[in-house]
Homo-oligomer: A and B are copies of this chain.
Amino acid sequence: MAKRLVCFLAVAVLATTCHGWGGGAGDVVSAAALSFMDRLRQMIPVGDGDYCDSWRVGVEANNVRGWTTAPRKCDNYVENYMRGHHYRRDSKVVVDEAMAYAEGLVLSGDAAADANATWVFDVDETALSHVKFYKKHGFGYHRTDEPAFMEWLIAGRASALPNTVTLYKKLLLLGIKIVFLSDRPDTPELRNATATNLIKEGFDCWDELILRSGNSTATGSVVEYKSGERKKLEEEKGMVIVGNIGDQWSDLLGSPEGERTFKLPNPAYYIDNYMRAGAAVATTASSSSS
Contact digits for A87-124, partner B, Cβ 8 Å, 1 yes 0 no: 00110111011100000000000000000000000000
Q: How far is the CA of A203 from the CA of B86 in the complex (A)?
A: 39
Q: Which B residues touch A262, using CB under 8 A?
A: 63
Chain B min CB distance to A205 (Å): 25
Chain B min CB distance to A43 (Å): 16
Closest residue of B by beta carbon distance from A90: B54
Q: How far is the CA of A283 from the CA of B265 in the complex (A)?
A: 26
Q: How far is the CA of A65 from the CA of B63 in the complex (A)?
A: 18
Chain B min CB distance to A250 (Å): 14
Q: How far is the CA of A93 from the CA of B261 in the complex (A)?
A: 24
Instruction: For chain A, residues 130 to 169, give those with C-beta under 8 angstroms from any C-beta of chain B.
Output: none
Contact of A57 among B55, B65, B265, B290 (CB under 8 A): B265
Contact of A62 among B64, B90, B92, B263 (CB under 8 A): B263
Does A64 contact B97, Cβ atoms closer than 8 Å?
Answer: yes
Does A58 contact B97, Cβ atoms closer than 8 Å?
Answer: yes
Instruction: For chain A, residues 36 to 66, give those with C-beta under 8 angstroms from any C-beta of chain B.
Output: 50-51, 54-55, 57-58, 60-65
Copies of this chain: 2
Does A64 contact B93, Cβ atoms closer than 8 Å?
Answer: yes
Chain B min CB distance to A102 (Å): 13
Closest residue of B by beta carbon distance from A286: B104
Instruction: For chain A, residues 245 to 290, give those with C-beta under 8 angstroms from any C-beta of chain B.
Output: 261-263, 265, 288, 290
A-B contact pairs, 29 of them (CB 8 A): A50-B85, A51-B89, A51-B93, A54-B89, A54-B90, A57-B57, A57-B60, A57-B90, A57-B93, A57-B265, A58-B90, A58-B97, A60-B60, A60-B61, A61-B61, A61-B62, A61-B263, A61-B265, A62-B261, A62-B263, A63-B93, A63-B94, A63-B97, A63-B98, A64-B93, A64-B97, A65-B97, A96-B290, A97-B288
Besides A58-B94, A96-B290, 5 other CB < 8 A contacts?
A: A57-B90, A60-B61, A62-B263, A63-B263, A97-B288
List the 4 closest pairs (A to B, CB-CB), nearest first.
Answer: A60-B61, A58-B93, A54-B93, A61-B263
